[in-house]
Amino acid sequence: MNITLPDGKTMQLKPGMNGLDVANQISPSLAKRVLAYALDGQLYDLYWPIPKAGSFKLLTEKDPETLNMLRHDASHLLAQAIIALYPGTKFGVGPAIDEGFYYDMDLSQPISEEDFPKIEAKMLELAKQAFPITRKEVSKQQALEMFKDDPYKTEMIQALMGTISIYTQGAFTDLCLGPHFINTSFNQNFKLLNTAGAYWRGDSKNKQLTRIYGTAFFNKKDLDAYVLMLEERKKRDHRKLGKELGLFMISDYGPGFPFWLNKGMILRKTLENFWIDVHRAAGYQLVQTPTMLSKELWETSGHWFNYRDNMYVSEVDEKEYAIKPMNCPGSMLVYKNEFYSYKDLPIRMGELGNVHRHEASGALSGLFRVRNFTQDDAHIYCTPEQLESEVREIVKLFDFFYKKVFHIDYDVYLSTRPENKYIGTLETWAKSEKALGDALTGMGKTFKINPGDGAFYGPKLDFKLKDSVGRTWQCGTVQLDMNNPERFDLTYINEKNEKVRPVMLHRVVYGSLERFIGILIEHYAGAFPTWLAPVQIKILPVNQSFHLDFSYALKKAASALGLRAEVDASNEKLGYRIRNAQVEKIPYSVVIGDKERDGQMVTYRPYGSEEQTTVTMDIFLQKVLKEVTDITSLRIV
């Protein structure tokens, strides 16, 4: 049996050879560093016999896959420590996740974050003992016998078919696919972060387990840097900043239903108006569809049968209605209101539509998870020949918003056909997936494949944004829909004078406007760029008796240019008012004294700077105006 190494060379293997054997043949120094191996892209334990011929790669600490493995190991190390400290604990699942890991547990006694130092000390003790982590494959019956006292593992085993893999380290054995490192010694730089409640299998009808979150790194420097970043994230918490900056509030009278305060409303409307201007220039029609529509519509769309529990329902004139959880059905009714030929397509239809979804109360979180929100939906109806070019135009739009306007980078994922539940032919799916991929490739965009993660009605592109403190957010989506044009009998007349189905694309840029604002609050730490800031200029008269008139004259001149200015006419000392302007993160603080009043000048200081500059009032206002219009006048080229 031969394997192909990354440099293209082949190596002949003897039966039973594992990854470490290969590493030793290549280089003894490499063998000391290798942690796992990959065969045709699939990861394996270092000691596991190489099962077949294929493309082979040895993985070390430098490979990103191994950090994920380290964190998976850490979740098992946590469970091993828990079972030692709290005998009788039952275990759910414990995967590695972005930036860390968690384990869901049915604990034998309650624990809190105050118990973390004790648990971490036990984890470190176990890690230093270098317990071998061994894999064993057993039958379903053997697995059921091994885990007969754990109802959660038993339930998972019942759903499995064929051979089942288990991993053992010391006194802890887990049902797990792996892979893992050879022993526990690699995990010595970890930290437990917080606890949360988690229903077993995500179902509120099941028992709530305790979920312990943590993170792990290969070295202390990276762990310390991450912990510092977490502290920075806490300072940026949009719930905290939203309250401090007077942007929004949540009331007990409406959990999950945000109240927008004056400054938050200015921010929100600035984003909406910019979105509208850009979309009009890009050839989108703007529509607005009703908030409440009849049960029959939601039956046609499939929501009534598949999403009913998340919808708010009411009765009007003895007929059932539902508040819309999505804008798509309304858009399709608008499309059906006209007759189209192929010459009319593409039809690009945009809507800032307010939707309502009945989210579980425990899932609500500031602006990130709410029960009513505005989606910046667009639905594009085009011919199959136009699909690729329309996707390119959407990606250009995303580039414009994310990179040019907000300076946020992103990764793209192509989610392909699900394994079993899907509609349409394999040929149609292949063409659709190729069209999405070709559109990205033609623009020089790299993307990752998310196999089997497409919706049942079509493949999609997901755009995951990376903010200034390293978090990833799912925002932009391009979803190809092969289902709704059929359900709603959408047609156009083609070149042969035949009625045919249009291709339908769903797409959002902001996603949820509420969530996007939450992301921006944390991304900018509340210090919004001038064009977005609810208050752009804070005017500070030195003495109310002598400098107030010119201060208000400056505000009036700013307002005439469309700029947002406030005068702080309080009786507080000037230094206190300057500090307040910094706390409120106002882009420009302007001090007005005798010199400024007499010379029609302003002395300004940008946010975060100690440097003060004195210029004429007109020069200052034109400077701020240019800073705003440099963004608000941008359009897609």
List residues with catalytic annotation: 328, 357, 375, 377, 379, 460, 506
Query: Strands 36-39 and 42-45, how do they pair?
Result: antiparallel
Q: Which residues lie below 8 Å from residue 233, measured CB to CB, with a gap of 6+? A: 469, 471, 522
629 backbone dihedrals φ, ψ, rounded to 5°:
-70, -20
Angle in degrees, 0-180, between the axes of helices 262-281 and 617-632, rounded to the nearest 10: 60
Question: How far apart, in whole angstroms, are the C-alpha atoms of residue 74 and residue 95?
Answer: 9
Q: Which residues lie below 8 Å from residue 98, measured CB to CB, with a gap of 6+? A: 472
**DSSP SS3 for 255:** coil
Listed in order, strand segments (DSSP E) in 434-593 are 448-450, 460-466, 472-481, 492-493, 499-500, 503-512, 537-541, 565-567, 588-592
Q: Which residues lie below 8 Å from residue 586, measured CB to CB, with a gap of 6+? A: 533, 535, 536, 537, 538, 607
Query: Phi/psi zone of residue 603: left (φ > 0), alpha (ψ -120 to 50 degrees), beta?
Result: beta
CB 447 within 8 A of CB 440: yes
Q: Which residues lie below 8 Å from residue 407, measured CB to CB, with a gap of 6+? A: none
Nearest to 353 by CA among 386, 330, 383, 369: 330
- Going 540 to 543 to 549 to 550, the CA torsion angle's sign is negative
CA distances from 609 to 426, 541, 602 (A): 59, 19, 16
Nearest to 512 by CA among 363, 327, 350, 375: 375
- For the chain, how long is the longest CA-to-CA vector? 93
Question: How far apart, in whole angstroms, are the C-alpha atoms of residue 280 and residue 365?
Answer: 33
4 forms beta bridges with: 10, 55
CA dihedral 70, 74, 76, 81 (to 10 degrees): 150
581: its two tokens: 């302007």
The 10 Å Cβ neighbour count of residue 296 is 12
Radius of gyration of the chain (CA): 29
Q: Which residues lie below 8 Å from residue 636, measured CB to CB, with a gap of 6+? A: 278, 281, 282, 396, 397, 400
278: its two tokens: 């850009």
Q: Which residues lie below 8 Å from residue 618, measured CB to CB, with a gap of 6+? A: none
Which contacts (CB < 8 Å, 24+ apart) does range 368-372 have?
Answer: 368/238, 368/515, 368/518, 369/256, 369/515, 370/256, 370/257, 370/258, 370/512, 370/514, 370/515, 371/255, 371/256, 371/257, 372/256, 372/257, 372/258
Question: How far apart, in whole angstroms, are the C-alpha atoms of residue 86 and residue 383?
Answer: 62
Question: How far apart, in whole angstroms, are the C-alpha atoms of residue 310 and residue 579?
Answer: 46
The 10 Å Cβ neighbour count of residue 101 is 26
Question: How far apart, in whole angstroms, are the C-alpha atoms of residue 541 and residue 24?
Answer: 76
